[in-house]
Structure 1
Amino acid sequence: MQTQFTDADLQKPHIQEAERILRTCVHCGFCNATCPTYQLLGDERDGPRGRIYLMKELLESRDDDDQVTDETRLHLDRCLTCLNCETTCPSGVEYHKLLNIGRAEIERRVPRPAGERAQRYALRKMMVEPKRFQALLKLGQTFKPLVPSKLRNKMPAAPIDAGARPDANRHTRRVLILEGCVQPGLSPNTNAATARILDRLGISVTPVAEAGCCGAVDFHLNAQEDGRARMRANIDAWWPYIEQGTEAIVQTASGCGAFVKEYGYMLKDDPDYAVKAQKVSTLAKDIVEILRDEPLDELSVNASQRLAFHCPCTLQHAQKLNGAVEGVLSKLGFSLTPVQDAHLCCGSAGTYSITQPELATQLRDNKLNALEAGDPEVIVTANIGCQTHLAGANRTPVRHWVEIVDAALS
């Protein structure tokens, strides 16, 4: 794709990066064939190719250009950032990196209405601090009928018991774990189950209280500098353990894992953090990357349930781990039902199911129909956002897959 940036524009790092990405696009449109929002809406501007054109026009235009309007932002907002298009693209277009640039630019150029700004600010403040989120969740559970439906459906009916964790110092092999921001409240047993499974394999799990939200919530709600500040804070919290030789930084939420693996890229221009951020990205591992390389036959598992696995977009398209969880579950003896169109997004996409509820609900119901076609006893997934979004329909039970493995250990 040809670009028309001025020499002055090309002095700006974000324009240099945008030009690099834009010039890899060959307009083929293969991306539209697998884009969930294009399939629903049929509008070129709601597919990756159309959004790329919109962002090109936006970045090439001047600040006073009246062609740049909130309609441009609408089509960028509708993108799930599922990265299905990147998996499909034959030219290797790094669409999500361009989208981050485009969203930051439209946010600067076209201010949102006050109501939208208030909603996004509230989401950030509500979700990124685990203790605050858990307090609000408890309050919401107490007064559940008064909670707006798009939030009420995501809340567990009652507090969930996480169960005990093994001693964090009993094994020579040690990993860190990112506890996350909403997962400790919505599904506290996920990380506890992970610690118990790894303990069986001779690996101790060290939680680091100072490490908080990975930064994805801030970043994807266009508070990108706040997101980078969270990245730096997490790196500072993890660094002493990294210097002591920790084996990995484990994530059980694939959305967090995909984001932490991008720390090196997103802080590449920070002279104080670039090297450390790259090291963190190298150490970041989804739990399946740890388990698939371990002697799973040493685990005594009573794998009696029939499962349907929903592979989150952040696992299959961002981290390129499609088939990894299915492989581990099959090796452990679980029966997996087939899932049609497994590459498509469920509609969760971080805060998307709150900011774009109609599209998210359509995508969720389509995904559940595909997952339930094989009559599974339980639907399992690898990301807290997908888990709560799918569970909100109150159909087949939805759990994190490591909880099912942990419960099956004899």
Structure 2
Amino acid sequence: MQTNFTPQQLTDPLVARSNKILRACVHCGFCTATCPTYQVLGDELDSPRGRIYLIKDMLENGRDADEKTVKHLDRCLGCLSCMTTCPSGVDYMHLIDHARLHVEQTYRRPWRDRALRWMLARVLPHAGRFRLALMAAKLARPFARLMPDARLRAMLEMAPGSLPAPTREDGVHPAEGPRRARVALMPGCAQRTLNTDINAATIRLLQRAGCEVVVPESFGCCGALTHHMGREHDALASARATIRSFLAAGPLDAIVINTSGCGTTIKDYGKIFAGDPMQPEAAKVAGLARDVTEFLEAHGLPEGTAPDLRVAYHSACSLQHGQQIRSAPKSLLVQAGFTVVEPENPHLCCGSAGTYNLLQPELSGELKRRKVATLEAVAPQVIAAGNIGCMMQIGTGTGVPVVHTVELLDWASGGPRPAALTQAPAIPT
């Protein structure tokens, strides 16, 4: 794609990077075939290629974002399926990041949008505030249909009926048997509130694999949620705290992450902090980051025997597209003894995408409906995923139990039966 940025514009590192990304695009349109929003809406401006044109026009002309551009950029899930498809290697992830930052800096949203986004940025990354918000949402849920804003209705309807008791995993968890590795676990922020079993299963599994597991104290958000909303100041503040927490943990062989949305962002810290004095530390943390399945595939899975169970594996976009990890989760489940099946169109997003299901409930709901239909079509006894957002999204649309991949691997190697399966009598003990 031909671009016409001025020499002065190109002195801005973000503009220079976006210029390089734009020039890599050859207009082929392969991305439209795998873009979830284009599949639903059929609008060229709701495809990666269309959004690239909008971003180019906005950045090249140095103009403020307008309502039309913001509407189509907001509809982007950030699933990055287009990057997997693109034959030219267009780095859409960093282009849409730049565009969202530009929107946040130059566009004044309607007051309801500003208030909603401010609330999400101030609540979701903080476990205590998030818990209080979910408890309030549970009380207000009977009145959801009276809410004039579809997004507020979606928030109330997404709130789970119950929450697990708060737990803290902070500290050092020794390896079982000889220590083969020393790793840090990133416990997540929303995950700590919504499902405490995931971190517990991960720690047990890693301990059985001969790992000493360090969970940094007072760990907060990695910055992923606010980063994808274009709130760069908030995102960088969270990321700096995350980096300091990991560096204070002492020598590490890996930083293990069981929330793939967080993993994609942390692995990108080196680029996010480009030109920042903290870039060397950020790059070091990024280089140590591993998804839990990525780590276990290389390190080795504890021995065990899985129950005879048919598992539909849902591949989170942040894992398969953001981190290019596709085979490891399925291979580990098969190695553990499960029968693994995969739905049709596994590359398409379930519609969760961080805060997307709260900010774009109609589109998110349609994507969820399609994803659940393909998962149920393979007749699973349980659905496994590697991201809490996907688990919550899919779980609200199906009666099939949804669990994290590590919960099944933990169960197969001696851990407890996942709590989500206790109400499923057809599943063997």
Pairing partner for 2:288 from 253, 265, 283: 283
Matched residue type, 2:280: V
Q: Equivalents in 1 of 2:412, 2:174: separation in Å?
A: 23
Q: Structure 2 regions of 5+ residues with no counterpart?
A: 145-151, 415-429
Instruction: Write the distance in 2 (CA, Å) between the matches of 1:15 and 1:164.
Output: 42
Distance 1:143-1:53 versus aligned 2 partners, 3 A rule: closer
Aligned ranges 1:46-195 → 2 under 5 Å = 46-63=46-63, 69-142=66-139, 144-146=141-143, 148-160=152-164, 168-171=172-175, 172=179, 173-195=181-203
Match in the other structure for 2:248? 240
- Kindly provide the amino acid, as one letter, of the partner of residue 36 in structure 2: P
Judge conservation of contact 2:32–2:48 (CA < 8 Å) in 1.
yes
Q: Residues 379 and 396 of structure 1 are in contact (CA less than 8 Å); yes or no, is this contact kept in structure 2?
A: yes
- Specify the code of the residue in structure 1 equivalent to 2:194: L
Residue among 342, 360, 366 paired with 2:364: 360
Distance, in Å, in 2 between the alignment partners of 1:341 and 1:3 is 34
Deviation of the 1:365 alpha carbon = 0.7
1:150 Cα deviation from its structure 2 partner: 1.3
Q: Residue 268 of structure 1 corresponds to which residue in structure 2?
A: 274
> C-alpha separation between the residues in 1 aligned to 2:223 and 2:356?
16
Cα distance between partner residues in 1 of 2:111 and 2:156: 24
Distance 1:87 1:328 in 2: 23
Structure 1 residue 169: Cα displacement: 4.4
Per the TM alignment, residue 25 of structure 1 is displaced from its structure 2 partner at its CA by 0.7
SS at match of 1:5: coil
Q: Secondary structure at the match of 2:321?
A: helix
Secondary structure of 1:106's counterpart equals: helix
Provide the residue aligned with 1:292 in structure 2: 297
Aligned partner of 2:265 in structure 1 is 259
* Corresponding residue of 1:33: 33
* Alignment partners' CA distance in 2, 1:409 and 1:143: 41
Matched residues in 2 for 1:209 and 1:140: separation?
28
Output the amino acid matched with 1:212. Answer: G
The match for 1:6 is: 6
Tell me how far apart the structure 2 counterparts of residues 260 and 392 of structure 1 sit (CA, whole Å).
Answer: 28
3-state DSSP of counterpart to 1:293: helix
2:245 counterpart letter in structure 1: A
Q: What displacement does 1:144 show?
A: 4.1
Q: Is the 8 A contact 1:288 1:324 kept in 2?
A: yes
- 1:164 Cα shift? 9.8
Pair 1:222 & 2:244 matched? no
The range that moved more, 169-178 or 325-334, is 169-178
Give the count of matched residue pairs.
Answer: 403
Q: 1:166–1:123: structure 2 CA closer, same or farther, 3 Å change rule?
A: closer
Question: In the TM superposition, what is the alpha-carbon distance from 1:142 to its structure 2 partner?
Answer: 5.0
Q: 1:110 to 1:364 in 2, by over 3 A?
A: same
Equivalent residue for 2:324?
320
Q: Residue 318 of structure 1: SS of its match in structure 2? A: coil
Asked whether the equivalents of residues 38 and 46 of structure 2 are also in contact (C-alpha less than 8 Å), the reply is yes
Question: Do the aligned residues in 2 keep the contact of 1:210 with 1:234 (CA within 8 Å)?
Answer: no
Read off the aligned partner of 2:269 and give its amino acid letter.
Y
Task: Give the distance between the partners of 1:159 and 1:62, measured in 2 at CA.
Answer: 47
Of 6-15 and 253-262, more deviation after overlay is shown by 6-15
- Cα deviation 1:207-252 (Å, max 9, x = unaligned): 11233101011111121121011111111111122xx311111110
For the residue of structure 2 that corresponds to 1:168, the secondary structure is strand
What amino acid is aligned across from residue 267 of structure 1 in structure 2?
A: F
Q: Measure, in 2, the Cα distance between the counterparts of 1:38 and 1:151.
A: 25
Structure-2-length-normalised TM-score: 0.90
SS of match in other structure, 1:341? coil
CA contact under 8 A between 1:130 and 1:180: conserved in structure 2? no
| 2:423 match | none
Partner of 2:350: 346
Q: Select 1:205's aligned residue among 209, 213, 216.
A: 213
CA shift at 1:165, angstroms?
A: 6.9
Contact 1:2/1:23 (CA < 8 Å) preserved in 2? yes
Residue deviations 1:333-390, cap 9 Å, x none? 1011231100100000000001000000100110011111111011110001111011
Partner AA of 2:381 in structure 1: E
Aligned residue for 2:343, secondary structure, equals coil
Residues 166, 195 of structure 1: 8 Å contact kept: no
Question: 8 Å contact 1:348–1:360 — kept in the other structure?
Answer: yes
Do the aligned partners of 2:314 and 2:342 also contact (CA within 8 Å) in 1?
no
Give unpaired runs (5+ residues) of structure 1.
none
Aligned residues of 1:163 and 1:192 also touching (Cα < 8 A)? no
Once the two structures are overlaid, the 10-residue window that deviates more, 399-408 or 153-162, is 153-162
Question: Is contact 2:32–2:38 with CA below 8 Å preserved after alignment?
Answer: yes
Change beyond 3 A, Cα 1:15–1:282: same
Pairwise CA RMSD of aligned residues?
Answer: 1.9
Indicate the SS of the match to 1:91.
Answer: coil
Moved more, 81-90 or 215-224: 215-224
Residue identity (%): 41
Aligned residue identity for 1:52: I
- Secondary structure of the 1:177 match is strand
Aligned-partner Cα distance in 2 for 1:360–1:192: 30
CA deviation string 1:264-303 (max 9, x = no partner): 11002102x111100100001100012112343x422333
Distance 1:160 1:210 in 2: 19
Higher mean C-alpha deviation, range 369-378 or range 171-180: 171-180
